[in-house]
Amino acid sequence: MSARGWLTVGLLLWAGRLAAQQTHRCDFCHNLHGAAAEQLRDYQVVETLCLSCHGSAGPAQVDRDGVLVPVPKNVAVHDGPKHTTASGCWECHNHEGEAFGNLVMVQRSVTTPASGVKTVVFTARSGVNSFADADGVYDGVCEVCHTVTTQHNNTGTAGQHNAGAVCTDCHTHQSGFQGAGGCSGCHNTAQDNGDGVPVGGRRAVVGEFVRLAHHVQVPDSVPDVDCQVCHEMSQHQQGRVRLWNVDQPGIVSAAIVLTGNPNTTATEARVLVPFCVACHDADGAGGNTTPFTDGVTVPGLDGSGWASAAHNRVSLGSEVGCYGDGAFGCHATGHGSEKRNMLAPPGAAAVAPALTGEQEGFCYNCHDGTPASTDIQAEFQKGTNTATQIFHHPVAYADQSGSRTVECVSCHAAHVARPDAAAPAAPAASARLLGVSRVSVTNGAAGSTPTFTFRSATDATPAKEYEICLKCHSSYATQPAGQTDLGVVLNPSNPSYHPVEAAGKNPNIRTEAFVNGWGPASTVFCTDCHTSDNTAVRGPHGSVNRYILKKPYTASSSNRTMSSGENCFDCHNFNTYANDQSSNTVKGYSRFNPSTFDKGHTFHVDDRNRPCYACHTTHGSATRPTLIVTGRSPGLNSYTQTGTGGTCNPTCHGSESYTINYAR
Amino acid sequence: MWVACVAGSVALAGCFGDAAPASEDAPPAGGTPTGSGPAPQFGVPLGADALVLRSPVRVARAGGGWLLVTDARQRAVFRVDPATLQPDQALAIDGTPLAVGMAGDRLFVGNATRRTVEVFNHLGQPAGTLGGVGGVGYPSDLAVDAAAGLVFVVDGLARDVKVFETGGTPRRAIGAGATFESPIGVAVDPARREVLVSDYGNPGASIPAAVKIFSYEGDFLGAIEGNGTCAAAGCRGAFSRPQGVAVDDAGRVYLVDALQSSVLVYGRPGLTLVAEISGAAQRLRLPSDVILDETGGLVVAASLRGGVARLSGLGGAR
C-alpha cells in the first residue's frame, strides 16, 4: 500500500473514533484535490482554508439543516503587544480535540508559547469546562496560553472576570479577540480588569444613555463611533480612561488621561475641564459642531465667560470644574443623568415637589453656606409668599405657578457668572448676572409702553441689570392682574421716576437731602432697594421684608410713625424728611419744608404721622413730578406744581399752597 | 488598501492606468462603458477609512462603466473605478451585503442580515425588495440578465436559485429538492440562456464541489465537477471552494476557487479545463468573485486581503 493509502486508512480509523458531535469530515480540509493528505503547517494556508468556508463569502453560516448559525467571520489574527508571534486558527482549533469531547475542534493539547504543552478541556461553551471557568484548574482554551494578561492566565494569578461566560461574545474572532463586539457589548455590564482602578472596575455605562439627559441622542443604542468621539482607545484596558482632546483630533499624545476617580477626587475631576470645554465651545469638536451620529449640535459655552467664571475655580485656588459630585463640579457623568443638563447626582431622578438635586435644589448643594460662603438657600426660605406678600423669588417647585416662573438660571449663568472685579456703576449689570437672557427697552413718550427687545444669553451688547428684571416685571411677560408694568413707570420720559434707567429729573435737589453717598445725579440698581436684609448677601433672592426690600417698608398711607430704619431712608435723609426736631437748616435741604413754608415734609411725616406712601408712589409717575400720587387716603386729591412752589388739595384739609426753599 | 494588479500564471499582463473618471457620469478612463443604465451615484461617506475595502465579497458591472463591490465588514456597496480599482463612493447597507448586481436603474443587493435582496435606484434610494424581507435566506450571489429582465439569486439557506423579474415578480426557483448541497455563486450566459451555479458540495456525503448548469427554465444541463483529473504527473483542474463564476461571449466559464486562490477557465465545447490562473504567488488570498471587465480582463475580489485585483491578458486561455 502506498503512503497515501496508509494515510487514508489511518484517517478513516481515527475518524471512526469521533463522536456524534463531529462536524468536519477529514476531506473538508485534507486531500482536497486528490493529493496526499498533506499536513497543514503554514499559517496562511490554514487561515485561508478555514475562511474559505467561514469567511465573508463562505457558506458556513448555513448549516446542513438549513438554519442560519452564528459562526466566526472575517477572523482577525490573534496578535497584539503581549504576543511574541501571531496565533492562527489552528493554535486553538484542530480536529484531534474532538475525540476527547472538545467542541468546535478545539485542540486537546496545546503547545503554548511560554508554558509548555497544556491540556485543554472545552466541553461546554459556558459554565464548567468552558472558555475560562475559574474552577482552579487552568485548562480553559482562553487560559492555557496566557501568562501576562490581566484576566484568566494559566496560573490563576490574574483576575477572573466573567468566569464561565462565553468569552467570544465580547472577545470576538472578528476583532482578534481584543474584547470587541462593540463598546456596548462589554460596557453594558461592569468591567473589572483587576487593576483596582477604580475599585470594582468600570461601571456599566450603556444604561446611562437612556437616562433623562444624556450624550448621544440615538434611541436604543450607542454606536461605537460615538463612544470614540470622546474616548481615545490606543491603550484600552490598560487601566486609564483616555479621552480625546477633540480640538486635536487623532493626536494620541494630546489625549486627556484620568489617573484617578473623578467622582471622588476634585483634583481628578478638574482634569476633565479642558476635555469638556474643547467640545462645548464655538467650533465643537475641532470644527465639527455635530460630532455624534445623532446630528445634534453641541451646546456651546461662552469660552471667554467660562475662563473667568466663578464655577471654574482653579484660578481662585480651589478645585471646581465641570465634572463632580455636586460639590466640586456639577456634571457627574459624561454619559447620562436622571437630572436635566446631566447634573449630579446622576442616578436618582429629581422628584416633585422638592426636585432635590435639580435647579435650585442642585445649586443649594454648594450655595447653602458650604462650600459657598453665602447661604442663598436660607434667603429663598425667608417669609411666606402670598399673592400680594412677596418675600423671596419663588424658585422652589412648590412656589411655581402660572405662566411666569423663575429659577436660579433665570438670573445666573452657571458657566459665566463671576464676582465683580470692581463694583459696577448702575445700570450696568453685575458680572454675577452675565450670560443670561434679558429684554432691553426703547422708550417712547411718558406713560407709554416701551418696545421690548429680547436679548439672548449670548447677546454681546452690554447688559443692564434692570433688563434682567424686566424679563418678568414688565408687560414683556404675562404679569398677574394688578401688577405694575415697571417698563412703563421707569421710563425716563416720565415727569418723575426712580433713576433706574437714567438719572432723575430733579438735578438741583440738594445733595444733603440724601445719605449714604447718594445724590441728585445718582442712578440706582433695582437691587439697591430689592435685596436681602442680610447685608452680607447681595441680590433679591429673599428678605424678611415684604417685596424683598433691603429694609422694612409698609405700602400703606395709614398714619404711622416712620423710623430711620425704613427703606426710604437708606437713600433719603431721615432728618430732612421725617424728623420734625431737626434744625431748619437740615429741614431746608428739602424744598417742601421750613423755613419758607412752616410745615412741609417733617411736619407731615413726624408731627402728623403721614407716611411717604400717602403722597408718593415708588417707582415712577407718568403724570406728576416728584413721584406725587393722588387718590390715596389719607393722601392727595390733586396737586399742582409751579416754578416757585405748588398747591395741594389733600384728603386731610383744605387746599393749600407753598413756596419752595430753593430753586428747582 | 491593497490594490496591486495581479498577474496569473498562464499569462502575465500589466495593469491599467490610474486615471480617474473625468466626471461623475462620464465613463471612467481605461474602460469602455457597456453597462446599461445610469451610473451609480451614492455619495462620499465621512470617516478616514470609510472608503477602504476591507472584505470585498462580490463584484458586478454597473452603468457608466463603473464597478460595484459589496464589502461585508464595511457593510457597504462601493462604487469602484475600473481603472484604479479604488472605491470613490459608498452606499451603506443596514446589514451584511453579499450579492450585488445592476440592471438599468435598479441596483440589487443581497442582505444576509435582513435575508432579502434589497433594491435601490442608481442614487442609492430604496426601491423595495425581491422576495420581501426574510424571503431570501442567504443571498450569497446574484446574476442579472438585463435584456431578459431577470435576476437570479442564490439562496444558500433554501439551497436554490430564485428567479425574479427585475421588477420584483418571482418567476421560479431552480434546484428544488437535493439539487444543490451548498450553492454559493451564480452567473448567467444570456446567449445560451444558461444559469451556472457554484456549489461547495458535501464532503460528508462524498458529493464533490461543482459548477452546476441549468437552463433559464430550471432544467439541469450538466456540471463541472471539482474532482479534477489525477495522473502520474499529479492532479489538475480540481476545486473544492468554488465561489464566483463568470461567462464570456464565447461561453468560456471562469471560476474562482477560494482555497487555491486561482481562477479556473473552462472552454467549449465540453467545458474542459483550458487554463488555471493561480494568484497565490501574487498574494491573491481568498478570492470570492470574478467578473469580466469591459476589455475582457478578469477582475477578482480578494476578500482576505481586502482588495480588488485585475488579471488580464488571458493568453492561451482564449
Contacts of A74 in chain B (CB under 8 A): 54-55, 72-73
Contact B193, B176 (CB under 8 A): no
Residue A371 has pLDDT above 90, yes or no: no
Tell me which residues of chain A, numbers 192 to 231, contact chain B at a CB-CB cutoff of 8 Å: 225
Mutate to test the interface with A, among B227, B241, B262 (most CBs of A within 10 A): B241
Whole-angstrom distance, CA of residue A175 vs CA of residue A234 = 14
The verdict on B95 touching A (C-beta cutoff 8 Å) is no
Q: Cα separation of A555 and A220, whole Å?
A: 58
Of the candidates B247, B249, B193, B191, the one whose C-alpha atom is nearest the C-alpha of residue B224 is B247
Report the percentage of chain A scoring pLDDT > 90.
50
With an 8 Å Cβ cutoff, is B184 touching chain A?
A: yes
User: How far is residue B236's CA from residue B278's CA, in Å, rounded to a whole number?
Assistant: 12
Instruction: Give me the residue spans of the domains in chain A.
Output: 1-39, 40-181, 207-349
- Rounded CA gap, A318 and A329, in Å? 11
A444, A450 Cβ separation under 8 angstroms: yes
N residues, chain B:
318
Identify the weakest region by mean pLDDT among A266-275, A372-381, B211-220, B278-287.
B278-287
- Return phi, psi of residue A621, to 5°: -125, 130
A33 in contact with chain B, both atoms CB, cutoff 8 A: yes
- DSSP characters for B248-286? -TT--EEEEETTTTEEEEEETTTTEEEEEEE-GGGT--S
Q: Among B72, B227, B240, whose Cβ lies nearest the Cβ of A56?
A: B72
Given an 8 Å threshold on Cβ–Cβ distance, is A57 in contact with B238? no
Nearest-CA distance B312 → chain A (Å): 23
Q: Is the pLDDT of residue A535 over 90?
A: yes
For chain B, the average pLDDT equals 81
Do A47 and B259 make contact, defined as CB atoms within 8 angstroms?
no
**Residue B236 pLDDT > 50, yes or no?**
yes
3-state SS string for A414-454: CCCCCCCCCCCCCCECCHHHCCCCEEEEECCCCCCCCEEEE
Higher pLDDT, B50 or B217: B217
How far apart, in whole angstroms, are the C-alpha atoms of residue B291 and residue A48? 21
CATH of domain B56-317: 2.130.10.10
B252 reaches A (C-beta below 8 A):
no
Tell me how many residue pairs between chain A and chain B have CB atoms under 8 A apart: 100
* Band of pLDDT at residue A16, cut at 50, 70 and 90: very low
- List A residues 151-180 in contact with B (Cβ-Cβ < 8 A): 174
Interface probe, candidates B136, B256, B303, chain A, greatest A C-beta count within 10 A: B303
Best to test chain A binding among B54, B94, B260, B304 (most A CBs inside 10 Å) = B304
pLDDT band at B47 (very low <50, low <70, confident <90, very high): low
Q: Using 50, 70 and 90 to split pLDDT, how confident is the model at B46?
A: low
Q: How many residues does chain A have?
A: 664
A64 neighbourhood in chain B, CB within 8 Å = 202, 204
Whether the CB of A52 is below 8 Å from some CB of chain B: the reply is: yes
* Three-state secondary structure call for residue A324: coil
Do A66 and B159 make contact, defined as CB atoms within 8 angstroms?
yes
What digits encode the pLDDT tens for the residues A584-619? 999 999 999 999 999 999 999 999 999 999 999 999
The answer to whether the complex's ipTM is over 0.90 is no
Radius of gyration of chain A (CA): 40
Supply the DSSP string of A52-67, one letter for each residue. HHHSTT-STTB-TTS-
Helix, strand and coil content of chain A, in percent to the nearest 5, comes to 25, 10, 65
Select the more confidently predicted residue: A385 or A58. Answer: A385
Cell of A644: 416757585
- For residues B160 and B186, the answer to whether their CB atoms sit within 8 Å is no
Q: Across the interface, which of A28, A68, A174 has its CB nearest the CB of B203?
A: A28
A647 pLDDT more than 80: yes
Is A31's Cβ below 8 Å from some Cβ in B? Answer: no
Q: How far apart are the first and last CA of chain B?
A: 31
In the prediction, which pLDDT does B280 show?
A: 61
Cell digits for A282?
464655538
Segment among A181-185, B114-118, B197-201 with least mean pLDDT: A181-185
pLDDT digits (tens, 9 = 90+) for B76-91: 999 999 999 999 999 9
Q: What is the pLDDT of residue A73?
A: 45
- SS3 percent helix, strand, coil of chain B, rounded to 5, is 5, 45, 50
Those residues whose C-beta lies under 8 Å from the C-beta of residue A517, and which sit 6 or more positions away, are none
**What is the predicted pLDDT for the residue at A9?**
37
Task: Choose the closest CB to A57 out of B204, B234, B243.
Answer: B243
Amino acid residing at B43: G
The angle formed by the CA atoms of residues A527, A523 and A540, to the nearest 5 degrees, is 5
Least confident of A306-320, A325-339, A500-514, A526-540: A306-320
How far is residue A330's CA from residue A340's CA, in Å, rounded to a whole number? 11
CA B265 to chain centre: 15
* Number of Cβ atoms within 10 Å of the Cβ of A437: 17
Mean pLDDT of chain A: 85
Is A261's pLDDT higher than 60?
yes
Average pLDDT over residues A202-210: 87
Unique residue bearing C-alpha cell 407716611: A611
CB contact under 8 A, A32 and B238: yes
CB contact under 8 A, A73 and B72: yes
Closest CB from A32, A51, A174 relative to B286? A51
Do A412 and A434 form a contact (C-beta atoms < 8 A)? no
pLDDT tens digits for range A24-61: 666 667 655 544 445 566 666 777 778 888 777 777 65
pLDDT over 80 at A216, yes or no: yes
Flag whether pLDDT at A202 surpasses 70.
yes
Say yes or no to pLDDT of A472 above 90: yes
pLDDT of residue B108: 97
